[in-house]
Amino acid sequence: MTASRAHRRGPSPSPQHDAAVLPRTHPSLVRTTVPAQPSRAAGVRDMVAEHLTLLRLPSECLDNAVLATDELFANAVRHGSPGPRDTITVTLEHVGHELRVTVADRSSALPRARDTGGAEESGRGLAIVAALSEGWGIAPADPGTTGKKVWFTLALRGMP
């Protein structure tokens, strides 16, 4: 997919299943909650890479998942975490030959893809996620919490 096409593509409809339905002990579900601080991005990237390395994914798939997760985490820190004590929850769900990554923050403000010009330094995060993934979307926060969840899926091609 070209970057310009991905830039125009909006969120996909939310899939019928939800990561929150599976118990935390499910072997294909990994969840971590971290402070909503830019300094935590490296730890989130490392967690995603470590978990997906255990699945023996092809390097391109692993790299795409790490980059797309990093973009959603950066967006959540910048736009979705207004308070100094806010947290962000990152969930990896591996079901069959699909990976779903969900990033939840405390803000109810919905993300939107922007049409950025060549000189702008930011605003390309969702276009990058769209280009790297099979689809992305927005889901409501878990019951009893505030905010939203932004997710993407990747088809896990070339798995053993």
End-to-end CA distance of the chain: 25
pLDDT at 11: 53
- Is the confidence at residue 159, as pLDDT, over 80? no
- According to DSSP, the residues that pair with 47 across neighbouring strands are none
Domain at 3-17+38-155, CATH from 3.30.565.10, 3.30.420.40, 3.90.79.10, 3.40.1410.10: 3.30.565.10
27 band by pLDDT with thresholds 50, 70 and 90: very low
- Cα 148 to chain center, whole Å? 12
pLDDT at 1: 40
User: What pLDDT, in 10s, does the model give residues 59-94?
Assistant: 999 999 999 999 999 999 998 877 788 999 999 999
Domain ranges for the chain, please list them.
3-17+38-155
Tell me which amino acid residue 150 is.
V
